[in-house]
Chains A and B, each alone.
Chain A
Amino acid sequence: MSPDDAHLGDLLERARAGDRESLRELVRVLNPVLWRVARAQGLAAEDAADVVQTSWLELIRRLDEIRNPRAVTAWLITATRREAWQRRARSRRDADDPAPYLSAAVDDGPPPDARLLADERDRVLWRHFERLSERCRDLLRIVAQVDRPDYTVIASAFGMPHGSIGPTRGRCLTKLREMLLADPAWSM
């Protein structure tokens, strides 16, 4: 087990005992990743937020089933992916009668909003970012969200070995850099 796992495990133990600050910290560390997991399943923003909440509610209900607190990250990520998948399956089934939030669902995370894309460098970056592999896009989006990259959490989200996250991140970032530096619109 890595120190990160142990840290999150400690937080869960203290949250179980009723320590609100530990719960707050646990939510703060894990939410950006759970958000990406839900979005990567193609859910609209409101649905993704709802699915993240539902997964936490299930976690609290089933705390006793989690014998090893260090497994909390993997448990939550699996629960979020399953919830998101079910939500999307339901929205497809109901497609004859599309509610507004369902029709807003997209396949690969939405483009940034128009206000952001008013920035020329953002526009150029987005154009090249979209050309990366799906794996690179997902990984870079998660890495970008967490201020102090927690490779344990990210490895759980991707089902990748802990040791390969760093090199993969490096490869994806290098590829993006090369595309950007070759683009006169970026170098301006």
Chain B
Amino acid sequence: MTDTPSLADEVRALEEIVRRLEQEDVDLDAALKLFEEGIARLRRARETLAGAEQTVQSVLADASGTLRSTRVDL
């Protein structure tokens, strides 16, 4: 799996962190830890967002059932 599926996880976790910071009565240490975690997740989410354009692959299962993929040029 590529890195991008974790984008959904990153964003979900970020939303939870922000919710806790905004609503819960967390102590300062915990708040700082949450903040640091949030920053790390933000960075990864932004890296994923900046990912390069991917090629299109054509996938074929041959007679033996082996998958082969070839690049599709458009």
A binds B: no
Q: Chain A residues in contact with chain B, CB under 8 A?
A: none
B-side residues, CB < 8 A to A, are none
